[in-house]
Structure 1
Amino acid sequence: MRIAMGQLASGTDTAANLRTIDAYAARAAADGAALAAFPEYATYEKKMIDSTFPTVAQPLDGEVGRELSRIARHHGIAVVAGLVESSPDPSRAYNTLAAFGPDGALLAAYRKIHLFDAQGFRESDYVAPAPTTDPVVFDVDGVRFGLMTCYDVRFPRQAEALSDAGAHVLLACSSWVPGELKTKQWRTLLAARAIENSLFVAGICQAPPVSVGNSLLAGPMGDVLAELGLEPGVLAADITPEELASVRAHFPTRSQRRYL
């Protein structure tokens, strides 16, 4: 299967962000990708999360969700993108990844579990955590994808739970805040989650200056199979589930695990 990573430089103009997603999805489909994944906060983003996020939040079937569904259906490709979803608390939104199938149907919605209350940020001031910690997975053409968002990558048990739920590929849709050693940590953590779980891990990031860029696809041995630099763009790469079987046969850590 071929999947595409769409690295964006999203801002507060939701319509403009959606136009870029549409253009990148078209390019991904033309390149033979079955799925195109976009970053956290793909449809609305700022350098600092503030009180505007709850005000722009919409339900999954609102205008933003309907347009993402249309994009997927129009190009015949699965689309995963971060959006700001309304929550029961009007003062806080959900940071949500929505996955739409090539027919436009909603395949899955993942609300971020681990909010970024670190590095001087307080995401939880304006964003509500997911009401459940259950792993969120969905299937496209027989390949199972697991969803996680940005700061989640620092929590190995979440990736492990997605692996236990049958994921072949983790989509880590992110807006990784810049800082000392942050790009190195981003790359290292993605590779570590891939190695630990014998999975493919696609880290799809916002571009500078809001984030660090460097979207990449790590293979189950931790090798980088494809990567983008600092500029916005879209890049497709192939994943082979057969490679997972080979790696897991050589390193059967899943069956050897002894803790609960």
Structure 2
Amino acid sequence: MDNHLSSVKNSCRLLKLFLDSPKEMGVSELSRQLQLSKGAVHKLLMTLESEGFIKQNPANKQYSLGFTLLGLGNKVLNNHNLVDFAKPYLQKLADTTQELVCLCVRDGHEAIYIDRIDSIHPIRFNVEAYRRFPLYATSASRVILAYQDPSFIESIISTDIRTFTPFSLKEPAEISDRLRSIFTNGYEVSENMRNVGVMGIAAPLFDIDSTVTASISMIGPVDRVKPSLDTFIQHVTAIASDISVQLGYRG
């Protein structure tokens, strides 16, 4: 049995058309995209307009999104807690990979782990929640840095670069090349760069404005992660994509 109200579903479909369309649209265009009659679309518009979800331009009779949606959007943002929101996705990734999974955010010129789910294995890598580190230092932070403005990236990598192991990135040009590769691939894989014997896989989280201020990562011993690297990359990037879509990212 279909438990959806068709009129409500069509109203939602109508509103979502404006996410990827011009600011204003007329009844004919909405009718074509929704594959509904002009009469049905007109009724939907009148109902939505009466509640402030849609408004009409008197000059050209075209329709656009109303201010009620702006109020609802701000309410969502004010109530939004990334840790709580992302927790089910992190748990799914942890259950699938059985390795340490982390949520990382940019905080100014640094990165910080704000949540984690530990590995179930007795031999495992661990991180401290709320630990700060340079944006160039780990897979989770570099995948955030790769999507920042060039001027911001330059300000980060032009400072004294701190190394952690003999395999750490040392030179600005080296880091810059790495960031370009991350941007192209959509993920980062780090081996022995932050801790010897440890491999990290990270992917960016995009928000509704297509900006990146957070990432998720999976971290484990090299000898356990590397043999299944391609599979782990698929798991991490798929979960990151799911979170991004739920954050409003349109691709």
Measured against the shorter chain, the TM-score band is: 0.3 to 0.5
Pair member with larger Rg: 2
Structure number with the bigger relative contact order (C-alpha 8 A, sep ≥ 6) is 1
More helix by share: 2
User: TM-score normalised to the size of structure 1?
Assistant: 0.32
More strand by share: 1
User: TM-score normalised to the size of structure 2?
Assistant: 0.33
